[in-house]
C-alpha cells in the first residue's frame, strides 16, 4: 500500500467535477494520476457516480490479494 501525493493538478480536476463528496473525487483524481488499478473503499455508493476504475470494498480486496 502506498500513500499517494496530491498536487495542484488533482485539486483543479476535482474542483472541475462537482460531485456529492469532494474528498472521494480528490482520492479518485490522485488514483488516476498515479496509475492505480483499483479503488478500495467502503463508500462504494458515492463512487458509482463518477469512478471509471474498478472499486472494491476493503474486505473483498483483502480476500483477493496475495500476501
For the record, the C-alpha cell of 14 comes out as: 476535482
DSSP-derived letter for residue 37 is: S
What ranges make up the beta strands (E) of the chain? 39-40, 55-56
Angle at 17 between CA 11 and CA 23, to 5 degrees: 55
- Residue 57 is predicted with a pLDDT of 93
Per-block average pLDDT, block size 10, for the chain (67 residues)? Answer: 87 92 93 93 88 92 84
Amino acid at each position: 500500500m502506498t500513500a499517494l501525493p496530491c498536487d495542484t493538478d488533482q485539486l483543479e480536476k476535482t474542483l472541475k467535477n462537482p460531485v456529492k463528496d469532494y474528498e472521494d473525487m480528490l482520492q479518485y483524481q490522485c488514483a488516476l494520476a498515479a496509475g492505480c488499478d483499483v479503488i478500495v473503499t467502503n463508500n462504494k455508493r458515492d463512487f458509482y457516480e463518477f469512478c471509471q476504475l474498478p472499486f472494491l470494498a476493503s474486505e473483498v480486496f483483502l480476500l483477493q490479494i496475495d500476501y
